C-alpha cells in the first residue's frame, strides 16, 4: 500500500470535494466535520509517506501502469514529502479556524467554501508530486481556479480583487504553458527526469532559453514575485477571514516550489550555477522583493494589506536562499519556506480574530484589544519574533542559514538584502506594537465575548510551531541537507 501514498494523498481531498455538494445537500453543517476528517487523515498519510520515503527512497508512481516518460508519473521524493506534511498540517489548522469564521463570512455558501478548499488542497498536492511539466500546469490552474473562487466567494469588493487575480493568474499560466511548449519542442518530452537528461546538451538552444524566461515570468506571477505581485495585496485584503490564512500560507509557497523544481530538477544544478546566469536573476529579483515588499508593508495602515506585503518580502528571502548555488543556502531557503508558511498562517489567524472579535482592520485601532486578550498579544509577539528573525524561532535559523549560504558564495549583496529587509520588518512590527500598547491605555475597551476555542487553538498552535521549528531546526535542516537536496548541488 505504501507505494500508493502519493495517489491516496491526492485522491482523498479530491473525492471529498466532488462528493461534498451531494453529501451535504440537506445538512450543510456536515461540511465542516467532513473537511476536518479528510485533512486529519491526510496528516497521518503524509507522515507515513515521509517515513516510507526516508527509509526506502523516493516513490515513483505511474498512473494506469504507463511508466515514464510516456505515462503520467508522480514523484514523492523527500522534498515533496516534507512539503506535504506542512501542507496537510496547515490545511487542517486553517479549517479548524474556518469553523467559527466561515458562517459569518459566507452565510449560505458554506458547502461551496469547503468544496473549494478541498479542491485547492488536492491541486496543491498534485503540484508538489507532479513529475512532468504539463501536469504541473494542470494543477497550477486547478489551484488557481479554486483560489479565484475562494477570494470572490463573499461577493462585494472581493469580486473585483478575484477578477484582477484571475486576469493576472491567467496571464501567468499562459506564459508558463508557452515556456513548457518551448521545452517540449527542444527536448521532445514533458517528463522532468527525462527532460533533465536531454537539456544539458540543449542549453544553447533559443527555445530552451526563451522557454525558461516565459516559465520564470509565469511562475513569478503565481508566487507574487516583485514586480509581478500586483494581484496579491487586494486578493488577501478582500478575501474572507476564513480564506486568507490558507492562501497566504500555501498557494504562493507551492508555486515557488514548482519554480525550484524547474531550476534544479529539470535544468540541473550544474546548468543553473555554471552555464546559465539564471540564479543571478533569481537573486536580484529576490533581493528587490525582500526590500520592496518590506518597504510597502511599512507604509500600510490596513493590517491585512500590511501582512500581505510582508509575505511578498519573505518570498524574496526564500529566493535569495535557493539562488546561492550551494547546499547551505538551498537548505536555508527551503527551511525558511516551511517557517514562512507557518508564520503567514499565524499572521492571518491573528488578523481574522482581530476583525471577527474586535472589528479591527487598521493598526491605529489595535488599542481596542487592551488587556482583554493577553493570549492574542502574546501570540503576536511570537509571530513578530519569527518574522523579524529572533531566536529561538524558526525564522531566525532560516535567515541564519541563508546568510551563511550567501557568505559561503561571497555574496555580500544578498547578505545586505536579508539584513535590510529584516530591519524593515522590525520597523513595521514596532509600528504595530506602538499602536497596540500606546493606545491601549487610553482606548475605551468595551467588553468583548471570549474568542471561540477553535480560533484560539489555530493561532496558538501555529505560534507554538514557530518556536518548535526553531528548536528542531538542526534535525530539520540536516534532513534537508542529507535527503532533499537537488542532484548535483
The three cell numbers locating residue 364: 491605529
DSSP result, 153-164? TT-THHHHHHHH
d(CA 242, CA 404): 37
Spatial CA neighbour of 242 closest among 123, 162, 352: 352
The three cell numbers locating residue 344: 503567514
Would you place residue 109 in the very low, low, confident or very high pLDDT band (cuts 50, 70, 90)? confident
pTM of the complete model: 0.92
Supply the DSSP symbol for 266: I
User: Nearest 5°: CA angle at 457, between 240 and 293?
Assistant: 50
DSSP result, 22-72? HHTSS-GGGHHHHHHHHHHHHHHHHHHHHHHHHHH--EEEEGGG--TTTS-
Q: What is the pLDDT of residues 249-292, one digit of tens each?
A: 998 899 999 999 988 998 888 888 887 888 888 999 999 999 99
Q: Name the CA dihedral angle for 142, 146, 149, 154, rounded to a multiple of 10 degrees.
A: 180
Contact predicate 473/393, CB 8 Å: no
Would you place residue 95 in the very low, low, confident or very high pLDDT band (cuts 50, 70, 90)? very high
Spatial CA neighbour of 191 closest among 264, 144, 136: 136
Contact predicate 244/304, CB 8 Å: yes
Q: What is the pLDDT of residues 39-93, one digit of tens each?
A: 999 999 999 999 999 988 888 887 766 666 667 888 889 999 999 999 999 999 9
d(CA 290, CA 423): 11
- What backbone phi and psi angles, to 5 degrees, belong to 176? -60, -45
User: Nearest 5°: CA angle at 386, between 380 and 389?
Assistant: 135
Would you place residue 456 in the very low, low, confident or very high pLDDT band (cuts 50, 70, 90)? confident
Domain boundaries, the chain: 277-489
Amino acid at each position: 500500500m505504501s507505494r500508493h501514498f502519493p495517489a491516496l494523498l491526492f485522491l482523498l481531498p479530491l473525492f471529498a470535494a466532488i462528493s461534498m455538494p451531494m453529501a451535504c445537500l440537506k445538512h450543510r453543517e456536515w461540511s465542516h466535520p467532513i473537511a476536518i476528517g479528510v485533512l486529519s487523515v491526510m496528516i497521518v498519510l503524509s507522515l507515513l509517506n515521509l517515513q516510507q520515503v526516508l527509509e526506502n527512497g523516493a516513490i515513483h508512481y505511474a498512473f494506469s501502469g504507463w511508466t515514464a516518460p510516456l505515462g503520467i508519473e508522480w514523484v514523492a521524493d523527500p522534498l515533496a514529502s516534507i512539503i506535504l506534511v506542512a501542507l496537510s498540517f496547515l490545511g487542517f489548522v486553517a479549517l479548524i479556524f474556518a469553523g467559527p469564521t466561515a458562517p459569518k463570512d459566507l452565510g449560505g455558501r458554506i458547502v461551496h467554501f469547503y468544496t473549494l478548499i478541498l479542491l485547492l488542497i488536492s491541486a496543491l498536492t498534485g503540484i508538489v508530486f507532479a513529475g512532468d511539466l504539463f501536469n504541473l500546469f494542470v494543477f497550477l490552474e486547478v489551484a488557481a481556479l479554486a483560489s479565484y473562487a475562494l477570494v470572490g466567494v463573499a461577493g462585494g469588493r472581493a469580486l473585483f480583487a478575484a477578477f484582477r487575480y484571475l486576469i493576472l493568474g491567467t496571464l501567468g499560466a499562459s506564459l508558463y504553458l508557452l515556456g513548457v511548449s518551448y521545452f517540449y519542442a527542444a527536448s521532445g518530452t514533458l517528463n522532468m527526469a527525462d527532460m533533465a537528461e536531454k537539456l544539458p546538451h540543449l542549453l544553447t538552444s533559443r527555445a530552451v532559453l526563451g522557454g525558461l524566461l516565459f516559465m520564470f515570468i509565469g511562475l513569478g506571477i503565481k508566487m507574487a514575485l516583485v514586480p509581478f505581485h500586483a494581484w496579491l495585496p487586494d486578493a488577501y485584503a478582500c478575501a474572507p477571514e476564513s480564506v486568507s490564512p490558507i492562501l497566504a500560507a500555501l498557494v504562493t509557497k507551492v508555486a515557488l516550489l514548482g519554480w525550484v523544481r524547474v531550476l534544479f530538477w529539470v535544468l540541473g544544478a550544474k546548468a543553473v550555477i555554471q552555464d546559465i546566469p539564471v540564479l543571478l536573476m533569481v537573486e536580484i529579483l529576490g533581493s528587490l522583493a525582500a526590500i520592496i515588499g518590506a518597504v510597502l508593508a511599512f507604509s500600510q495602515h490596513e493590517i491585512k494589506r500590511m501582512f500581505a506585503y510582508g509575505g511578498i518580502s519573505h518570498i524574496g528571502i526564500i529566493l535569495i536562499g535557493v539562488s546561492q548555488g550551494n547546499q547551505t543556502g538551498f537548505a536555508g531557503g527551503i527551511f525558511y519556506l516551511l517557517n514562512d508558511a507557518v508564520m503567514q498562517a499565524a499572521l492571518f489567524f491573528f488578523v481574522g480574530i482581530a476583525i471577527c472579535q474586535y472589528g479591527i482592520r487598521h493598526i491605529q485601532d489595535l488599542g481596542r484589544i487592551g488587556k482583554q486578550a493577553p493570549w492574542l498579544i502574546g501570540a503576536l509577539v511570537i509571530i513578530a519574533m519569527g518574522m523579524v528573525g529572533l531566536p529561538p524561532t524558526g525564522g531566525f535559523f532560516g535567515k541564519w542559514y541563508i546568510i551563511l549560504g550567501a557568505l559561503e558564495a561571497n555574496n555580500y549583496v544578498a547578505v545586505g538584502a536579508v539584513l535590510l529587509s529584516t530591519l524593515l520588518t522590525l520597523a513595521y512590527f514596532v509600528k504595530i506594537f506602538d499602536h497596540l500598547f500606546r493606545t491601549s491605555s487610553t482606548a475605551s475597551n468595551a467588553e468583548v465575548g471570549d474568542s471561540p476555542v477553535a480560533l484560539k487553538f489555530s493561532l496558538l498552535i501555529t505560534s507554538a510551531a514557530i518556536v518548535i521549528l526553531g528548536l528542531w531546526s538542526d534535525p530539520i535542516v540536516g534532513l534537508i541537507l542529507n535527503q532533499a537536496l537537488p542532484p548535483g548541488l
